[in-house]
Amino acid sequence: MTPNSALASLLAPWLAPRRAPILAAALLALGLLAGCQPKQDAHAPGVPATLPTPDAATLARLGKAMFFDTTLSASGRQSCASCHDPDHGYGPPNRLAVQLGGPQGDRQGKRATPGLAYTLNATPIWTHVQAASVSERLTETDNPPKGGLMWDGRFNSLHDQAGAPLLDPDEMANGSRADVVARLARAAYADDFRAAFGQAVFDDTDRAFDAATRALERFELDDPSFRRFDSKFDAYLDGKAALSAAELRGLKLFADPAKGNCAACHLMDKRADGSHPLFTDFQFAALGVPRNPGIAANADPAYFDLGLCGPRRTDQIQRADYCGMFKTPTLRNTARRGAWFHNGRFHSLEDAVRFYVERDLKPAKWYSRNNKGQTVLYDDLPPAMRRYVDHFDPPFDRQPGARPALNDAEIRDVVAFLKTLDDGYAAPAVVSSR
């Protein structure tokens, strides 16, 4: 018998209508019904206890207005779209490793801006499924952590994530929620907010901020521009386009577990509902990407961006085996980026692919040297954390002097295939023979 069924059996004699009020009073006195009591909504005097709930289309329309509104930033020059450009797969529109923000628009961030397209409505909540018994621990390894939003998966809800850039000192740099709400109250669409949420919406800071982030969430979930599925590869899957010889070779290398092995993490099979692939498994991996000297924070030798275990995420700080893990991004629109990986270390897609192939074959090519002239392998992690970097899966299963998983020509073919994942494919015009 489960605990719930046992409790139900115990309480059954008291659930008759005549005795139920007595039971409720007793449980309330013991604090057992605290979670069932109506929540007392703290709100400003004169503000209604609940705000109206606009329909999804209204929310999305307001969210879109906010997404492109530069006046919501402290500098007055930065919007969500400044870093998440629709023409670049809702990723950065430039080649900067990390974007600039802050009160004057000149403050450098510490991580590359992730793209928002395709994954926001499909990302699972953050979880780590581990071996459940001693025998499983002896015969199986834990699955990698999975899910959550941002490079470190620290947000499980899109409206929570949407609010973070508004307050981040390196991004839109509002000093508080009240600053955001004050700017919203002056926005060109402020009257639309009042019409949707009530005339007093801006009088309660927390609920106005929550309304704003839910509007952003709705726009990002519902607007079809975030999930276009109109790349050349999508057309190929639908039988409406043919891949070139190089693109086909790249596709096979991408999928081959003994070659590129890219599809092990960037899943390329159609999903259960028949929809086209997202090219991510939403899991986390420690790839040992080289330190980027172009990030100002890295001038401090004691500073490390450890992904899942800090510094932005703090709830997993005790898990040393998580250090250096970052979420696998989708590869859709990857060729439109100007910088790759969480720290924007590479500015060429070919170099990004080549790093996978040569990381452990030619470490001196990719990593810095210490004051003794020695190559510092996995130099963007503290020495104690470097043993957690992935060494097992191809192409990371080779030692110096071994044959690379991909040669130069094959690397170029993989890049040719990756370019077929960009949105906006237009089939060549058919020239009439008449």
- Residues near 88 by beta carbon (within 8 Å), at least 6 away in sequence: 115, 333, 336, 337
Q: Is 294 left (phi over 0), alpha (psi -120 to 50) or beta?
A: alpha
Per residue in 135-148, is it b (16+ CB within 10 Å) or e — as a string?
eeeeeeeeebbbbb
Q: Is 341 left (phi over 0), alpha (psi -120 to 50) or beta?
A: left
Q: What is the pLDDT of residue 25?
A: 44
Residue 47 DSSP SS3? coil
What single-letter amino acid sits at 318? Q
Q: What is the pLDDT of residue 11?
A: 40
Tell me how long the chain is: 434
CATH architecture for residues 56-126+153-226: Orthogonal Bundle (1.10)
Q: What is the pLDDT of residue 176?
A: 98
For 108-204, where are the alpha helices, taking DSSP H only?
134-139, 158-167, 177-186, 190-197
CA distance 421 to 267: 13
How many other CB atoms are there within 10 angstroms of residue 26's CB atom? 12
Q: What is the pLDDT of residue 53?
A: 87
Q: What is the pLDDT along the chain (434 residues), one digit of tens a residue?
A: 444 444 344 444 444 444 444 444 443 343 443 444 433 344 555 555 667 889 999 999 999 999 999 999 999 999 999 999 999 999 999 999 999 999 999 999 999 999 999 999 999 999 988 765 555 544 455 688 999 999 999 999 999 999 999 999 999 999 999 999 999 999 999 999 999 999 999 999 999 999 999 999 999 999 999 999 999 999 999 999 999 999 999 999 999 999 999 999 999 998 888 899 999 999 999 999 999 999 999 999 999 999 999 999 999 999 999 999 999 999 999 999 999 999 999 999 999 999 999 999 999 999 999 999 999 999 999 999 999 999 888 999 888 989 999 999 999 999 999 999 999 999 887 655 55
- Torsion sign over Cα 229, 231, 237, 240: positive
Long-range contacts of 312-316, Cβ-Cβ distance < 8 Å, separation of 24 or more: 312/111, 312/150, 312/152, 312/154, 313/152, 313/153, 313/154, 315/154
- Torsion sign over Cα 83, 84, 85, 91: positive
Q: What is the largest CA-CA distance in the chain?
A: 91
The pTM for the full model equals 0.85
CA distances (Å), origin 282, targets 77, 150, 285, 326:
32, 11, 10, 10
CA distance 322 to 59: 37
Q: What is the pLDDT of residue 6?
A: 43
Q: What is the pLDDT of residue 428?
A: 83
Nearest alpha carbon to residue 25 among 17, 33, 36: 33
Nearest alpha carbon to residue 404 among 260, 286, 287: 260
Give residue limits of the domains in the chain: 56-126+153-226
Q: What is the pLDDT of residue 430?
A: 62
Q: Residue 327 corresponds to which tokens in the numbers above? A: 């979420």
